[in-house]
Amino acid sequence: MGPSADASAKAAPRTVAIVPHTHWDREWYAPFQAFRLRLVDLLDEFLPRLEADPAYARFMLDGQMAVIDDYLAVRPEAEPALRRLAASGRLAVGPWYILMDEFLVSGETIIRNLQAGLERAAAFGGAMPVGYLPDMFGHIAQMPQILALGGFGHTVVWRGVPSAVDKTAFWWTALDGSTVRAEYLWVGYSNGASIPDDAKALLRRVQIHEAELGDALPPDAGLLWMNGTDHQVPQPWLGRVVAEANAIQDDYRMELTSLAEYLAAAPTEGLPSWTGELRSGARANLLMGVASNRVDVKQSAAITERTLERQAEPLSALFLPPHAYPGALLRLAWLEVIRNSAHDSICACSVDEVGAAVMHRFDEAYGLADGLRRRAERALAESIADPGQVIVNPSAAARSGLVQVIVAGDGAVPGSQLLRAYPATTVEVVGVGGEVGALLGQLSERGIRMGSSLEGIDLEDTHAEVRITFRTGAGHRHRSAAEAARFEATMAEIWAVAGSRKDDRVVLRAQRQASQVLLVRARDVPGFGWAQWSAAALDVQPVSAGDTGMDNGLMRVEVDPSTGTFSISGLAGLDLLVDDGDHGDTYNYSPPAGDVVVKEPTSVGIEVKEKGPLRARLQVVRTFEWPERIVNGRRVGNRVVEVTTDLELQAGERLMRITTSFDNPSRDHRLRAWFPLPEPATTSRAECAFGIVERGRDAEGGIHEYGLPTFPSRRFVSAG
């Protein structure tokens, strides 16, 4: 007898693709070293078991090579085992070096992160061919292009996917048209965490999750079961329980697999499409407040990235000989920046010890980058035969703008603005030979700092005394190797003479010529190039400053003495400071029940700091009374705070620079600067990594998180 009609109509079992993994935050609610101790314990126990148990067929180390490097720094002897497991396909590594935040670091940092991950994974047989992005707080619009250029056709995402995407997979397209298939972790990377040591219990959980997904799961799709969560220890019974679950039913075919194997056979027909960034809180918290918390961390990131990308690397490539290119030192600096790009690090949503560690790593990276920039500039200076001032442009486009120079003399210089003047002077100190070090210190205390401004040394050694004359010039100059050697030899002789005449009279005289620190306008300096500067009349209309305003012919800025806000060419109310309560954490803004909003200062002071003709500056000091903290849902207490805002307008620019600073005396609050637009706007456009994103006035939220219509940007926002 043949099979019954019911039996023949029975659907094929749904594949349940079980991907064992752990999600490893390098630092978060505990400092890095605390998490490393746990990482070492986890891998010490698990690696031998994985090698010995073929039933435990696959494991994913969270898509980031930092996990391996952090472990091998303590267990270097484990590298052969890691290589064997990765090369055989049982251990999936890479492709990222670290799981970064995409909005709070530069596009270049994202690229370097991927490059570093791929390079390191190559030593272990190659990276997982999946752009794994499981826990980023949203995704940039150009990520599909980055992945496509890296050779990836698949990515995996969770946070940020909008409600318009109604399936567990979709086609994700970048601004340039590049498209990848995105597997959407509907409820996160932990849907299969902590599998029970019981086959029937496992089946119940799978059934419940299938029902939870409902129509979001395409009929012909497998069920992706991510067996892991934050810092989860691998479960030794996994292989056995999966085999038992397969043996007792035929509705599901469960298999231990990898993301790459699952995605290679995943359905591609009938999937929704989405173009651009993913910044929705519809189904998962986007954690929108991380873009503006811990401003010191964000500032350090920007300064360090800019110094590396726009100064240290290009200037070293341009001005150093090939054999002197500091590739190893630049890699060290980039490694610290990449490590800091981790989402819980750069987002500054971790404990204070982590914030301090992030700042230290940025300091280390910046120190390397800034030192390498200076070396490249010295190399350029030494290569220039003609005397005089040289202006260097480290950007790609030709530029004109203000620079600061130091010139000899005290006469007026055409087309300049005097910042400081140092008259010619002679300073003399007297002691004995044994005190020559202290005497040099006395010269420094009296304003004679020789350094690279030293132009000559005269040594007179007579029977009665030793007379040493230092001649200093205007500002700093780069010495040739021969000049530096001569100065070092002369200084060595001075110390030798002083040492032999330690009880005899020594006279140190410093002769400083007159000099001036000037602002001048450099004109049309070529991109990645340089130009000689010479004094010339100002080629643009000068800027001037009065008691409350500045004007350069292109813009008129006027400060309101009652509010401290300012107007630009008639548009008033700019830079209104608004302080209100925030009862949330470093992830999200949360207004208190009893809020107090402070907009009006108790006093405003305006001072002209520079009057022009090249640069004008007004300093606005606003005094506020801000509540001190939130108690029982209400803002209480008052603290007096001075907020200092420097407004700067330069000649020839349709641009105003604003710097605001204050010592923060209050807790549980947020401070915003409001800028009214010239006309109502329904959209804004902002630069993000490698693209300009257009956004509406609303942000999509969900049951877990309100949609907060504030957005991150890189260099500019345009609206109205």
**Residues with catalytic roles:** 135
Phi and psi dihedrals of 607, rounded to 5? -135, 135
The DSSP string of 338-375 is: HHHTBHHHHTT-S-HHHHHHHHHHHHHHHHHHHHHHHH
Which whole-number Å values give the CA distances from 465 to 456, 502, 507, in the listed order?
20, 11, 7
Check: CB of residue 24 under 8 Å from CB of residue 68.
no
Distance CA 388, CA 385 (A): 10
Please tell me whether the peptide bond between 144 and the residue prior to it is cis, using omega within 30 degrees of 0.
Answer: no
Instruction: Give 201's contacts (C-beta < 8 A, 6+ positions apart).
Output: none
| DSSP conformation class of 541 | P
- For 478, the token pair is 């780069």
- For 24, the token pair is 């490893």
Instruction: Give 282's contacts (C-beta < 8 A, 6+ positions apart).
Output: 161, 162, 163, 700, 701, 702
Which residue type occupies 159? R
Backbone φ/ψ region at 676: left (φ over 0), alpha (ψ -120 to 50), beta? beta
Helix axes 107-122, 327-340, angle to 10 degrees: 110
Judging by DSSP bridges, how do beta strands 273-275 and 223-227 pair with one another? unpaired
Instruction: Give 178's contacts (C-beta < 8 A, 6+ positions apart).
Output: 144, 145, 147, 148, 149
Distance CA 427, CA 659 (A): 39
Looking at 497-614, which runs of residues are DSSP E strands?
505-512, 515-525, 529-533, 544-545, 549-551, 556-559, 566-568, 571-574, 576-581, 603-611
- For 63, the token pair is 């898509």
Check: CB of residue 234 under 8 Å from CB of residue 272.
no
Which residue in this structure is represented by tokens 């070529």?
A: 526
Q: Diameter of the chain by CA atoms?
A: 128
Distance CA 312, CA 327 (A): 11
Which residue type occupies 193? A
Which residue type occupies 203? L
Check: CB of residue 304 under 8 Å from CB of residue 187.
no
Let me know the angle formed at the C-alpha of 158 by 153 and 159, rounded to the nearest 5 degrees: 125
Which whole-number Å values give the CA distances from 437 to 452, 486, 495, 594, in the listed order?
18, 20, 9, 64
How much helix, strand and coil, in percent to the nearest 5, is found in the chain? Answer: 30, 30, 40
Least Cα distance to 279 among 674, 692, 693, 670 occurs for 693
Helix or strand holding residue 641 (H, E): strand 634-650
Least Cα distance to 167 among 154, 185, 180, 148 occurs for 185
Distance CA 97, CA 337 (A): 11
Please tell me whether the peptide bond between 613 and the residue prior to it is cis, using omega within 30 degrees of 0.
Answer: yes
